[in-house]
Structures are given as C-alpha cells and as structure tokens.
C-alpha cells in the first residue's frame, strides 16, 4: 500500500481510493485462499470472489497507470 501511495500525486482522495482497493484485494485474496482450503468449498462463492478480485485488480491497474489497455 505504501509503495503505490508514494508513486501517485498526493491527492488525498485518490490515495484513499487506492488504499481501499489494495485492502479489498488483500481481503479477497485471503478469503479465496481460506475457502480453497475447505473440503467442500462453495464453487459459486469462490467464482464470485475471484470475479471481485479480478475487477479490483483491474481498478488498481487503472489507478496506477500500469495497464496500457485502458489508456
């Protein structure tokens, strides 16, 4: 989180959004890992979390300018 915040102009709203997206990514990654460890993981729930993780990762790429697809 600290690294990305340092590379952006210090716009407090943008930094706040960036930090929130990074927290979401960390939480979703942990949640997916925990569900995958369960013997009878709910496949639909896992798919939903993976989709949320994908979209958060894409948002992060847009915010940091690391994905040329959106430029």
Return the domain boundaries, the chain: 8-65
Structure-block tokens of residue 43:
């496949």
Contact (CB, 8 A) for 51 and 27: no
For 11, the 3-state DSSP assignment is: coil
Structure-block tokens of residue 69:
């697809």
The pLDDT tens digits for 24-61 are 999 999 999 999 999 999 999 999 999 999 999 999 99
The answer to whether the predicted template modeling score (pTM) of the entire model surpasses 0.85 is: no
With tokens 């989709």, the residue in question is: 51
């Amino acid at each position: 989180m600290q690294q990305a915040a340092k590379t952006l102009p210090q716009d407090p709203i943008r930094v706040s959004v960036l930090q929130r997206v990074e927290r979401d990514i960390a939480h979703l990654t942990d949640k997916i890992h925990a569900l995958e460890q369960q013997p009878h993981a709910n496949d639909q729930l896992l798919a939903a979390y993976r989709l949320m993780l994908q979209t958060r990762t894409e948002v992060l790429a847009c915010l940091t300018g690391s994905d040329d697809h959106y430029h």
